A and B are shown apart, each in its own frame.
Chain A
Amino acid sequence: MAPKRNNANRGASPNPKTATTTSATVPLPPNPPPSAPIPGSRPSSSHSAAHPKTSASAPVSQTWDKVVSNLTSHYQKSTPQRTKLLDAFMAFLVLVGVLQFVYCVVAGNYPFNAFLSGFGATVGQFVLTASLRIQTTEANKNDFPAVSPERAFADYVVCSLILHFFCVNFIN
């Protein structure tokens, strides 16, 4: 008996989703360049579009540059403003986390509980924000039948408050 893929049972085909979301958000050329901008959406949508870039014969570094530039341009154009806000906050958290970790490596981790709570706060907040991002992107609607984006945000606020409480208590 082959294991069945849950997601196949639960979600509808993502193709129509892509179309509706792209129409609702920033207007795009009718034939969008290869990379589908919504994160987490099914690979079939990306296969349906044209993909001039990647071929086996092209050198990897060239591909890599093009990939990156492609990625950034489509990210700029096609992510909704709220998601960009999320991403900015996540980048900020990464920065704070990296700073703390660098400080720990350079100057030692005394007191250890302070290091754990400071670093843990940023990591935990990042993870919660990533979860919120996943839950509020439209492509993943069918993954979360019970959680609407508003409910996701409410969950997010509650979980963040719990996180902050634990961190402040732990750092004493």
Chain B
Amino acid sequence: MLRSTSPLLSLFAFLLVWGAALVSAVSTTGNRLLAVFDDVGEKENYSKFLGDLEGRGFQISYETPKSESLALFHLGERAYDHVIFFPTKTKGLGPNLTPQILVNFLNANGNILHTLSSTTTTPNTLISLLAELDITLPTERTGLVVDHFSYDTLSAAETHDVLALPPPVPVRNDISPLFSADAPAGQLLAFPHGVGAVLGPREQLTPILRAPKTAYSYNPKEQSEVLEANELFAAGQQLSLVTAFQAINSARFVLLGSAEMLQDKWFLAEVAAPGGKSVKTFNREFAKRVSAWAFQELGVLRVNWIEHHLNEVSAVNESNPHIYRVKNDVTYTISLSEYAYDKWTSFSLPANDVLQLEFSMLSPFHRLPLSLDKAHSSPEASAYTASFKLPDQHGIFNFKVNYKRPFFTNIEEKNTVSVRHMAHDEWPRSFVISGAWPWIAGIGATVSGWVVFVALWMYSAPTDKKVGSKKTN
């Protein structure tokens, strides 16, 4: 039974209505977008992509790295919420966009979409940034991904440097199929003149789109005909064409290997794989999804409220108390919502996935699955609950929900409670314990015998009046 959450629920509803009244579809972290071009005129090539973004509610500012007024932070706060880096020919990005500033931007919950091109070398700033994120590019700071088996026969029949790929499928069963095609099958994604990256083992990295097994990356300027094995940068599925990075604070960084795939030309083109017929590219839809994910419109989770209470018969109606007692029965409920482009909906767990609750002090004492609580769920939020008995150990414990999945916001909630020992009057009384009755009887016998004895003594004759009557105190 939920107690005293109605204020929370009503506040939440109010905010929802108010928020909904303001904007139609927008990112959950703000709509100020910065697009960095070498030359602002280049934005015409991306007009559809940028138009889509503006249609989703973003306010786009266009800057070049050399401009002096460019600042990601103003008075300690973010000046922009999202940044897109288009390929720039400069060696560095200038003093306003140092790697440290970019890392700080991520730490300040800003999101970055970084696009590469095989025709331009990536600026050193961005190479340093990628190194901090454990993403490695070829040493020449650019490369070219070719595949002699999955290329676009219509535009790159000789050079094989435009890849025609099926839309990505999740590489592991815990990855959500956000970027896959819904239907129909047979869609193809054009990946023209792109750069593949090699990812380190860091947990925050997940490849969105990997190169097919037959692809490889090489430097067209220096390496031409034959590639030695030890000169190969990477090949096959080690090449990540579109990479997702989600920091611990859920700031997102997407590395898009080919900036060209966002151009209008490729949104409207048709591609054909070898031996296949030509289809329209999936690029526009893919670009929408990738940018929506990068800019916190897709795959965003939110914890609405958490409530735990004592689940015993004699309990007082109190939510989230600070102290429990050993072996109390408690119930824990957490309410989650998911955001998709424009509204918060209830979050439904993927099929094989479990949302777990840990009750831990230094290490978990309980690790329980949370089950859907229909009573507190609604179309905008779903509640998950678990009930259990606290361990027979006093201390300072945490209710921990740690739900970190690729492409979903990190959920890490910790509620601290103290679990106290039994108070001196919470132990069963001795007359309740059957083993104690003989000794209660013993004491009773002693006391009653004593009372009888005292009565008899006072009534019986004193031994000797002569000697003992004088008080000598």
Q: Indicate if A touches B (C-beta under 8 A).
A: yes
Interface residues in chain A, defined as those with a beta carbon under 8 Å from any beta carbon in chain B:
20-21, 24-25, 80-83, 85-86, 89, 92-93, 96-97, 99-100, 103, 107-108, 110-111, 113-115, 117-119, 121-122, 125, 129, 136, 138, 141, 145-151, 153, 157, 160, 164, 167-168, 171-172
Contact, CB under 8 Å: A80 / B463: yes
Partner-contacting stretch, out of B55-63, B147-155, B275-283, B447-455: B447-455
Main secondary structure of the interface of B (DSSP, over half): helix
Contact, CB under 8 Å: B454 / A114: no
Query: Smallest Cβ distance from A81 to chain B, in angstroms?
Result: 6
Interface assignment of B18: CB less than 8 Å from any CB of chain A = no
Please report the C-alpha to C-alpha distance between residue A114 and residue B464 in the assembled complex, in whole angstroms. Answer: 41
From B442, B468, B470, B471, give the contact of A122 (CB < 8 A). Answer: B442
Contacts of B449 in A (CB 8 A): 89, 92-93, 96
Query: Smallest Cβ distance from A36 to chain B, in angstroms?
Result: 16
Please list 12 pairs of residues, one from A and one from B, whose beta carbons are closer than 8 Å in the complex, sorted by A's number. Answer: A24-B466, A86-B453, A96-B445, A111-B430, A115-B439, A118-B442, A122-B446, A141-B468, A148-B468, A153-B457, A171-B430, A172-B427
Contacts of A86 in B (CB 8 A): 453, 457
Highest count of chain A CB atoms <10 Å: which of B439, B454, B460, B464 = B439
Please report the C-alpha to C-alpha distance between residue A80 and residue B460 in the assembled complex, in whole angstroms. Answer: 11
Contact, CB under 8 Å: B468 / A100: no
Contact, CB under 8 Å: B442 / A119: yes
Contacts of A118 in B (CB 8 A): 438-443
From A81, A100, A149, give the contact of B442 (CB < 8 A). Answer: A100
User: Please, which residue of chain B has its CB at the minimum distance from the CB of A172?
Assistant: B430
Main secondary structure of the interface of A (DSSP, over half): helix
Contacts of B473 in A (CB 8 A): 146, 148, 151
B residues 228-245 in Cβ contact with A at 8 Å: none
Query: Smallest Cβ distance from B227 to chain A, in angstroms?
Result: 80
Contact, CB under 8 Å: B429 / A172: yes
Contacts of A82 in B (CB 8 A): 457, 460-463
Contact, CB under 8 Å: A108 / B446: no
Please report the C-alpha to C-alpha distance between residue A111 and residue B430 in the assembled complex, in whole angstroms. Answer: 8
Query: Smallest Cβ distance from A82 to chain B, in angstroms?
Result: 5
Interface assignment of B456: CB less than 8 Å from any CB of chain A = yes
Extra 19 A-B pairs, beta carbons < 8 Å, given A141-B467, A164-B446, A167-B443: A81-B460, A81-B461, A85-B453, A85-B457, A96-B446, A99-B442, A100-B442, A111-B433, A111-B435, A122-B442, A146-B472, A149-B468, A150-B471, A151-B471, A153-B457, A157-B454, A164-B443, A171-B439, A172-B429
Contact, CB under 8 Å: B433 / A114: yes
Please report the C-alpha to C-alpha distance between residue A153 and residue B460 in the assembled complex, in whole angstroms. Answer: 13
User: Please, which residue of chain B has its CB at the minimum distance from the CB of A116?
Assistant: B439
B residues 403-447 in Cβ contact with A at 8 Å: 427, 429-430, 433, 435-436, 438-443, 445-447
Contact, CB under 8 Å: A171 / B436: yes
